[in-house]
Amino acid sequence: MTIAIDERVRLLRVLYATIFLTSTGFGTATFLTPVYASGLGADYVSLGLIGAARNLVYTVGTLTVGYLLDRFERVKIYMVFMTIGAVVVALLGAVENVTYLILLNSLVGLFSASFWVTASTLTVDISPSEILTKSISYYNLSWILGFTVGPYFGGLISDAFGFKALFIILSALIISSVALSSIRIRPIIQLRSRGSTNIANLGSLKGLALAYIILIPFTILLGIYMAIVPGYLKIVGFSSALVGLLLTVTNGFRGLAFYNSEWFVSKGIRRSVTMASLLFFTGMTMFSVAKSTLEYAIPLIMYGVASGIMTPLMLDYIAKRCEKSALGTAMGVHEGVYGLGMLIGPMAGGSIAESYGPSTLYQLLAAIALTMPFIAWILGKNEMPISS
C-alpha cells in the first residue's frame, strides 16, 4: 500500500500524539513507582529490585516484540499491547506490599517494552526517508514531553488524592492513546516488514554492534536515574511533588536537547558523545555530594542535557544503517540494550548504595560515563549511513 508523503506526515503527527499520551502514562508510572515504594517502606535494595525486575522483563520483551514486528502487522501490535498495559498500570495502585509491587512492576516493563519498540519502529517505517532525522527528533520530543509534564502533575495528584487515583488516571491516558490510534492510524495504513527476517538480515546488524555497546554505560546511568534516584530523593526528605518537579526539570532539559538533536547529529558521534560524557561525569560527581534542593537540581539538569544528546543520536545512527526488512529487530535490539543496562544499573546500584552509601554509587557512575568517548572514537570511523 503506497502512501503519499503528505499523508505520511499527517500520520506521523497523529502517532506523535499517541506517543505523548502513552509515554505520559508509562513514564509517570515508572518514575513515581519508586516514590510509592518508598512510602511502603522500600530500602535501596528493594528500589534496585523494582527497577531490575522491570528491566529484566523489559529486555526480553523488546527482543520478542522486535521479532513480532518483522512478521505481523505493526499498528495492531501497538494497540493490543497498549490496551493490556493500561490495565496493568491501573492495578499498581491496588498493591500495598513491596514484593507484589516488584512483581506487578515487571509486567509494566513488558508492556513498556512493546510500546518503545513499536513506537520507534512505526516512526521510522512511516517517515519519508528525506526527513527521517527530523521525524526521529519529533518522536523523541513527543515522549519526553510526556516524561516532563507527567512526573510533576503526577506528584501533585499523588499528594492530593493518593497513588491509587494517580495510576487510574495514567491508565486512562494510555487507553485514550489506543482509541486515537484505532480511529486515525489503523484505518489508513497497515505496516508489515518488506521481507521476512532471516539470518542474512540479522547479519546486517553486526555492523551496529559498537552502537549497541556504547549504549550500555549510558543505560546503566539511565537505570539508576529512573529506579533509584526518585526513591533516594524521597528518602532524603523531599515530598512527592518536589521529586516530581525535579524530574520534570530534568526531563525538560532532556527535551531541549532533543529539540536540537539535528545539530548534535551534524556534529558527529565523537564530539557529541564526548560532550554527553563530560556532562554525565560532572553531574554525577556533583550529585554525590549534594545537600540542598539546588545542589540536586543542577546535576540533574546536566544529566538531562547529556541523556538528551545520547538518545536521539544513537537512534538516528542505528535507524539509518539497518536494513528495512530487519527494522523491527534492529529497534528491538536497541531497546533490549536499554533494558540490559537498566537491569544492571538498579540491581548493582541498589546493593552498592545500601552497602557503601549512595555517594559511592554516584561517584562510580561518574567514572562509568568516561568510558563512552573511547567507544565513540572507534564508532566515528564509520558514520556514513548504508544505502537500503
Q: What is the pLDDT of residues 178-230, one digit of tens each?
A: 999 888 887 666 555 544 444 445 555 777 888 999 999 999 999 899 888 98
Model pLDDT, residue 382: 64
Distance (Å) of CA 209 to CA 100, 196, 197, 337, 367: 36, 21, 18, 11, 23
Model pLDDT, residue 182: 87
Model pLDDT, residue 170: 97
Decide: helix, strand or coil at residue 386: coil
Model pLDDT, residue 51: 83
Gap between the Cα atoms of 352 and 364, Å rounded:
10
Domain 5-191+203-382, second-level architecture: Up-down Bundle (1.20)
120: nearest Cα among 244, 47, 15: 15
Neighbours of 236 (CB within 10 A): 12
Model pLDDT, residue 197: 47
Residue bearing cell 545500601: 354
Residues 6+ positions from 110 with CB-CB distance below 8 Å: 57, 58, 60, 61, 85
Model pLDDT, residue 272: 96
Model pLDDT, residue 157: 94
10-residue stretch averages of pLDDT, the chain, 388 residues long: 76 93 93 89 86 85 78 79 92 90 90 86 85 88 90 91 95 95 75 48 70 94 89 88 90 91 92 97 96 95 96 88 74 84 88 92 96 91 55
Residues 6+ positions from 266 with CB-CB distance below 8 Å: none
Model pLDDT, residue 387: 43
